[in-house]
Structure 1
Amino acid sequence: MHIVMFGDQHVETLGGAQVSMRLQRAFLERAGHTVTIVAPRRHGPRAHTGANDPGYLDLPSVPVTLDREYAMTWPGARAERVLDAEMATRPPVDVVHVQGDFWGAFLGLRFAERHGLPVVITMHNRVDVGIRAVAPAPGLVLRGLNRWGRHVLGETNTQGKDGWAYLRLLASRADAVTAPSAHFARRLEEHRVFEHVDIIWNGIDDDAYRAVLDKPQTERTSRRPRLVWVGRMSPEKRLLPFLEAVVASGIDVDIEVIGNGAQRAAAQRVAERAQASVYFLGSLPYRETLRRIRAADALVQTSIGFETQGMTIFEAASVGTPSIVCDPDLVAELGSGTWPVADDSVAALAEALRAATADIQRGCAPQPAADIAARFQQSSRTRAMLEVYARVIQSHAAR
C-alpha cells in the first residue's frame, strides 16, 4: 500500500502532529508499506534536515515565523504542478491521509480529487482555540479562513464562519475522519463535523520507549523535586501562566523547560523571579526528551481547550511519570496519574504545584495506569489505522 500524507509543516519541525506523522511513517514502512509525506520545504539553518530523504516530498514554501522554523506553501497551481510531477515518478497511490488544517489540507484534498483517491483526515487541532490564542481578531480570521477554504475547494454547499464550520468543510471531502482522543472525537461529532469519528491515539515510539526504560537512571545532583514542561512556547500552550504560577507558589524545585518559540525571552524574564531553579533546554531529540520526562517527578501540562490529545501526558504516563494537568478533558482522557488543576487561574495552578510538590516529597504521588504504555505504543496505533485505510479503500472501490 502507498499512503501519501499531507501536513501543514515539515515533519522535522517541532510539534505533536509532526512527531506523530514521523512515527506513523516509520511503523507503516516497518509493516511493508510505502509512505510519502508532502509538506512545505524547510528554511534556515535546519533546512538540510531530511532534505535527501526519499519519503519526503518538499513543496516550494515561504517562512512564516521569525526563527524560520515553520513555513507555508501556497495551495495554488505552482505547488500542484510540482506535486503532480513528483508523484508521477513514485508508485501508484492507494490512499491520501490529510493531517493538516490549512494549506496541507487543501493540497491533499485537491490531489485526491484530481486522482480519484480515497481520503482519511486526522484532525489534530482545535482550529478555533488555536486562532483565538494567536490572532488579534480571531472572528475575522475564522470568517476569512472559511471563505478561503470554500474558494480553494470549490465548495458551494457548506456555510458557517466559525472553527467547526471550517472543519466541516474539510471533512465533507473525507471518506473517514480520525481523532487522537475520545473527547475531541465526541466534540467533532456533536458539532456535525463527521457522523462517526474513529478514535486513534497518537502513539509513542516502541523502540524509543524500550530504550528509555532499559537505560539506568542517572544519579541526581539535587534532591529537590524535578518538574518538566515540554512544548512550543506560544500563547495557547500557556507557558507564561505556568511560570507565573511557579513564582506565586513559592515552590523550591528544579524545572526543565523543553522547547522553543516566540515567548522564550518573556518566559526567561518571568523565571528570574521564581524561587525555583528553571532551566531552558531548547529543543531536544525525541529520546532525550523522553529520558528527561522519565527522570522527572512530574510533567506539567498547561494548555486548556487547545490539545486534542495532549501527547506529553501520555508519554509521561508510559514511562511512569505522573502529570499536573490543567485541562479537565485531558485528565479524563488519561484517567489516572494526575494532579488536576481546579480552574484556569494562576492561583489554582500555583495551588496544584504546591500540592504536587508536597506529595512528591512525601512519596505519595499518583501513579499512571499500568496499561497505558501498551495501549499507547505506535505499533498498536498503526494496526488500528491500517484497518481504517483498508475500509476506505474498499468503500471507495465499491462506488
Structure 2
Amino acid sequence: MARIENVTAFTDLYLPTINGVTYTVDLWRRYWSRRRGRMAVVYPGEDGYEPSSDEFPIRSVRAPLFSNYRLGTPTAPEDLAVPDLVHVHTPFTVGYAGRRFADRHDLPVVASYHTVLEARADRVVPRPFVRGMQRATRAFERWFFETVDCVVVPTAYAREHFFESVGADTDVRIVTNGIDTDFFRPVDVGAFRSRHDLPTDRPLVGYTGRHGYEKNLGELIDAVSGMDVTLVLAGDGPARVDLEDRAAGADADVRFLGFLEREDLPAFYSSIDVFGFPSPVETQGLVALEAAACETPVVAVDAGALQDSVIEGETGYRYPEGDLEAFRTALRLSITENDRLSSLCRRRRSMFSVDHAIDQLVTVYDELA
C-alpha cells in the first residue's frame, strides 16, 4: 500500500484562537511529524501569533457575525509545496481554497466534520429566518462534502448526524480527534486551588470551555441549586453575563474563573470532583475526554456525541436533557463513587490519546493514496 507522508491542512479556525477545531489541527500537526512526515497548515493570519516553518498564514479580515474569528482570503500561499494529500477542516473560505488547491494539483482530499453548523443558526439570524438559514446551511454542506474523497467524523453520533442532516453521498469514516494524554493527566492541585480560593470542605463540580448559549450551561447552574457543592465555571463567551445573572439568583455557590491558560487546565480538571457537561450539540466533546484523562468523571447530557464520549458507569453518567432531578442524581452518584469512577477513567486513558487518532488517520490517508 502507498504511504502518505506529507499533508497540507486548510482550516478557517486556528491559533491563537482556542477551540476544539484549533486544538485538534495543532495537535495532529505536531504528532503527524513524529509519526510520518510533514503536516503543513494554511489558516487566516492574525497579529500576535508567530507561525512555525510548517504554518502558512494568509490575509484575513474580521469575520462578519462572529467577531472572535477571522475570515481568510480563499487562496493558497504561493510558496506552499505540493503535498501528497489535502485535509480540509472547515467548509468556509480557507477550506474552499484547499479544495481548489487539491483540484489544481490532482490530489486526494479528506474533510473533517467538526461542527453542527445548523445548531448555531439561531445565534446568527433573527428567529423568523432560522429555518431558512438551517436549510441553506445543510444545502451548502451537502454540496461541499460531496466534492471530497472522504469525510472523517470523531464519533458514531457525528457520523449518524452527518447522514441525517447533511445527507451528502460520500465515504464517511470515524477518526477520533484524540487528546494529548501526556499533558492531560492528574497533577498536584494545591497551588491552583489556593490561587483561585476554591473551597476544600465541599465537592467541586466544574466546567471549562466556551460560554455559548448552545452549551446550555444554565441547566448546570439550575442542577446544582440546593446541592451542597461549589460550581466552578472556567472560560468565557457570549452567554457569560446571562449566566452570572442566573447564578446570582440561584441557591448555589457559583464561581466564575474566566479564561484559563492552557497550562492551568490539568490542574483545573484535577481540582474538581465532577465535570458537568450539559451541551447537546457536541460532535465529540473534547473537554469530556480531557477531564476523564485527568481521572475526573463526567456527568453529561444524554444527547449528541456525549452518548459516545461518556461511558455510562465507567467514565461518568448521562442524564436526559432538561431533567434536572436526573442531572442532580447523576452528580451525587458521581461524587459518591468518585474513587471507583476515577480508577476506570485511568484505565481508559489510552483510548483518548492522539496516538490512537493518528493510527486511524494513517489508515484513511493511505487507503486514499
- The 8 Å contact of residues 21 and 114 in structure 2, kept in 1 or not, is answered as yes
Structure 2 equivalent of residue 147 of structure 1: none
SS, match of residue 300 in structure 1: strand
Q: Which amino acid aligns with 1:129?
A: A
Q: Which amino acid aligns with 2:239?
A: Q
Which residue of the other structure, out of 218, 235, 239, is the alignment partner of 1:240? 218
Which residue of the other structure, out of 189, 193, 200, is the alignment partner of 1:222? 200
Deviation string, structure 1 residues 71-117 (Cα, Å, up to 9, x no partner): 11243xxxx2xx24131xxx331111011132232121122112221
Change (3 A) 1:364 1:205: closer
Structure 2 equivalent of residue 104 of structure 1: 94
Distance 2:33 2:250 in 1: 47
Distance 1:276 1:63 in 2: 38
Q: Which amino acid aligns with 2:30?
A: A
Distance 1:291 1:175 in 2: 41
SS, match of residue 211 in structure 2: coil
The CA deviation at 1:331 is 4.5
Q: Which amino acid aligns with 1:104?
A: V
Which residue of the other structure, out of 307, 314, 317, is the alignment partner of 2:292? 317
Output aligned runs, 1:152-301, within 5 Å: 161=136, 163=138, 165-190=139-164, 192-209=167-184, 212-213=185-186, 215-218=187-190, 221-246=199-224, 249-301=225-277
Q: Which runs of 5+ in 2 are unaligned?
A: 194-198
The CA deviation at 1:37 is 1.3
Structure 1 equivalent of residue 332 of structure 2: 358
Structure 2 equivalent of residue 375 of structure 1: 351
Distance 2:300 2:287 in 1: 11
TM-score, normalised to structure 2's length? 0.86
Change (3 A) 1:299 1:65: farther
Structure 2 equivalent of residue 339 of structure 1: 317
SS, match of residue 157 in structure 2: helix
Considering Cα pairs closer than 8 Å and 6+ residues apart, tell me whether 1 or 2 has the greater RCO: 2
Distance 2:266 2:145 in 1: 34
Structure 2 equivalent of residue 148 of structure 1: none
Distance 2:201 2:305 in 1: 29
Deviation string, structure 1 residues 225-253 (Cα, Å, up to 9, x no partner): 1011122122111223433444xx32232
- The 8 Å contact of residues 292 and 345 in structure 2, kept in 1 or not, is answered as yes
- The 8 Å contact of residues 149 and 170 in structure 2, kept in 1 or not, is answered as no
Change (3 A) 1:100 1:267: same
Q: Which amino acid aligns with 1:296?
A: I
Change (3 A) 1:52 1:315: closer
- Which 4+ residue blocks in structure 1 deviate beyond 4 angstroms? 65-68, 363-366, 368-371
Distance 1:225 1:356 in 2: 14
Which residue of the other structure, out of 3, 8, 17, is the alignment partner of 1:4? 8
- The 8 Å contact of residues 4 and 93 in structure 1, kept in 2 or not, is answered as yes
- The 8 Å contact of residues 206 and 274 in structure 2, kept in 1 or not, is answered as yes
TM-score, normalised to structure 1's length? 0.80
Say whether 1:125 aligns with 2:97.
no
Q: Which amino acid aligns with 1:118?
A: P
Q: Which runs of 5+ in 1 are unaligned?
A: 144-160, 395-399
Q: Percent identity at matched positions?
A: 26
Deviation string, structure 1 residues 167-192 (Cα, Å, up to 9, x no partner): 22112121111100011112324554
Change (3 A) 1:86 1:266: farther
Q: Which amino acid aligns with 2:15?
A: V
Q: Which amino acid aligns with 1:117?
A: L
Q: Which amino acid aligns with 1:355?
A: T
